[in-house]
Chains A and B, each alone.
Chain A
């Protein structure tokens, strides 16, 4: 009964969030709407991360890699379109005389869009097979993923001619022929991002409710038992890891259209850890929590840095510490708060009932 109410709660919450986002352009300035478009892209990554961390227990501290790969693929197409057939500006001042071979196919939007998903997935499958088959897990996998993020960001910075170096790729003008700075395009892109969020959220929600979702949770809670019951956890882990990589890649591509720039800053360790923070603050293992976490934390970060440009780090740092320490279930676990407060005022005679129910609540929170 309680589970049903919770599930209804979360559905209502999700619908409210989507409505809020969908109507945002009507009461927010275009600049704020673009900001929310960016937050939506982050929410998409957070969903993917929740799939692997919240449900399957894989803590990846290097998801910036997949986000970045998807973003760079999209950016390469946008850059070629902006250069209109000539050599992109950063290549000229890096001393290149012609377009590198691997850039050429990106002039085709369909290819670029396909690569946005294919490249992260291929990398994820390779890394996944190498690590999960060797039963590297827990903290070691996390550190390994950090190493990966570091490697990619150093490589990107070092190859200025091919990737724009530390400047990244920026200065785009049009997408599919429409100007990127026109308000109409921005609005359309915002709704595309929102649609992507909804379209990714629904299948993920579907997946976690099915048997495969239960296997993910089982892997998280007791991988050896899963192995003993005959499943190969490595296969499932690779699948969910590749899925989250694809989701991150899509988020990255959408991010580039919203923000107009991608640089190695978004690929390294710091952004990757921040992605995990959004999921943790929102509440991992719930799919809705990470959306709230991504939107909320980033909104707060922007607000804090605008109003307290000198000391906004304090706000963010304190937020992380407070939420993770005292709300281990994340912000989403606050929905239990009214029920818990009500419980405090129940009479002594009902204590037996409470003692039965309270353990159930705590179990849910651990998820």
Chain B
């Protein structure tokens, strides 16, 4: 029984990590039609920012304040990644709207450059981040222990989700984003500054990736190839859920996270990965545009 509960918790924990990684992608891909293959590298940027912040806190600030680095890290990771995203958008991405294939290839090239940049600045070997002390250990209920780190990440994921939802559906800015996504010309005609909206949306997507990177430092490795470990699963989550739908991304993350860990438990890690991807392929047969696809009237082409 307790293994079952642990497994379910594990599944949701993995899903929350995927959600964090995929939320930014859902925005850039789903809302703007840009396939950002460098998304994994933005996660990496967030992770390295956390590493730098941790080092700064360790060197310059007294020991008892060290734990607060994680708050600063979360904010700074978001900002730094968003900054990189803005620069990227202004220089390169803005020429690629509406051209998914080109955006895929260009961002692939950018991911190579960013990886090499990380290697040149921080060196090829992995770097370590110590989790803040209040996240050590776990919550023990009976014989089951729920790691505080994973609970915290779950909380962060839910906060991000709520934040994005509120932004998209309850604010004027979010309405502008949705308007631009659904009908760019009409939105422009009604006075929305589409260029600005695009730029800020892309930055937000990248910022979310940075946030995911910060959270990931507590449970995984931080190195130049960090992004490559998460990019494929993140894309799967978005695609399975249906690009353009935040709820879809949530569903996609849960599907892949929970499904993946279950298969892994029943078989082994390699086969588990294969099986969940086979399920994704089968799912796409029945729902070619994802589960919560936004269906329009137009016979789009």
Distance to closest chain A CB from B56 (angstroms): 27
* CB-CB contacts below 8 Å: A48-87 with B: 53, 59, 61
A340 within 8 A of B: no
Interface segment, B63-71, B105-113, B135-143? B105-113
How many Å lie between the Cα of A138 and that of B101 in the bound state?
A: 9
Cβ of B270: which chain A residues have Cβ within 8 Å of it? Answer: 154-155, 157-158
B106 and A140 contacting across the interface, CB-CB below 8 Å: no
B281 and A321 contacting across the interface, CB-CB below 8 Å: no
Taking CB as reference atom, which chain A residue is nearest B35? A139
Give the total of B residues in contact with A, Cβ under 8 Å.
42
Which among A146, A311, A325 has the highest number of chain B CB atoms within 10 Å?
A: A325
A318 and B284 contacting across the interface, CB-CB below 8 Å: no
Choice from A138, A140, A224, A277 contacting B284 with Cβ under 8 Å: A140
Distance to closest chain B CB from A159 (angstroms): 9
B236 and A321 contacting across the interface, CB-CB below 8 Å: no
B274 and A139 contacting across the interface, CB-CB below 8 Å: no
A313-B106 in contact given A147-B281, A148-B281, A151-B277 (Cβ < 8 Å): no
B239 and A140 contacting across the interface, CB-CB below 8 Å: yes
B220 within 8 A of A: no
Choice from B92, B101, B280 contacting A321 with Cβ under 8 Å: B92
A 133-171 to B, binary, CB cutoff 8 A, 1 in contact else 0: 011111110111011101100110110000000000000
How many Å lie between the Cα of A140 and that of B280 in the bound state?
A: 11
How many Å lie between the Cα of A158 and that of B268 in the bound state?
A: 10
Choice from B35, B112, B277 contacting A316 with Cβ under 8 Å: B112
A183 within 8 A of B: no
A358 within 8 A of B: no
Give the total of A residues in contact with B, Cβ under 8 Å.
44
Taking CB as reference atom, which chain A residue is nearest B280? A147
Distance to closest chain B CB from A137 (angstroms): 8
A277 and B236 contacting across the interface, CB-CB below 8 Å: no
B116 and A313 contacting across the interface, CB-CB below 8 Å: yes
B284 and A223 contacting across the interface, CB-CB below 8 Å: no
Cβ of A321: which chain B residues have Cβ within 8 Å of it? Answer: 92, 106, 109-110, 113
B95 and A325 contacting across the interface, CB-CB below 8 Å: yes
A144 and B284 contacting across the interface, CB-CB below 8 Å: yes
Cβ of B239: which chain A residues have Cβ within 8 Å of it? Answer: 139-140, 143
A317 and B274 contacting across the interface, CB-CB below 8 Å: no
Cβ of B110: which chain A residues have Cβ within 8 Å of it? Answer: 317, 321
How many Å lie between the Cα of A168 and that of B262 in the bound state?
A: 29
A320 within 8 A of B: yes
A277 and B108 contacting across the interface, CB-CB below 8 Å: yes
B278 and A140 contacting across the interface, CB-CB below 8 Å: no
Taking CB as reference atom, which chain B residue is nearest A314? B116
Cβ of B109: which chain A residues have Cβ within 8 Å of it? Answer: 277, 316-321, 324
Q: List 22 A-B contacts (CB under 8 A).
A: A137-B288, A143-B239, A146-B232, A147-B236, A147-B277, A148-B281, A154-B273, A276-B104, A277-B108, A280-B102, A311-B116, A313-B112, A313-B116, A317-B116, A318-B113, A321-B92, A321-B113, A324-B102, A324-B106, A325-B96, A325-B102, A325-B106
Measured CB to CB, the residues of A under 8 A from B are: 53, 59, 61, 130-131, 134-140, 142-144, 146-148, 150-151, 154-155, 157-158, 222-224, 269, 273, 276-277, 280, 311, 313-314, 316-321, 324-325, 328
Known contacts A134-B288, A143-B236; can you find 20 more A-B pairs with CB under 8 A?
A131-B284, A139-B100, A140-B288, A140-B289, A144-B284, A146-B232, A147-B232, A147-B236, A148-B277, A151-B273, A154-B270, A158-B270, A158-B274, A273-B37, A273-B105, A277-B109, A313-B116, A318-B113, A321-B92, A325-B96
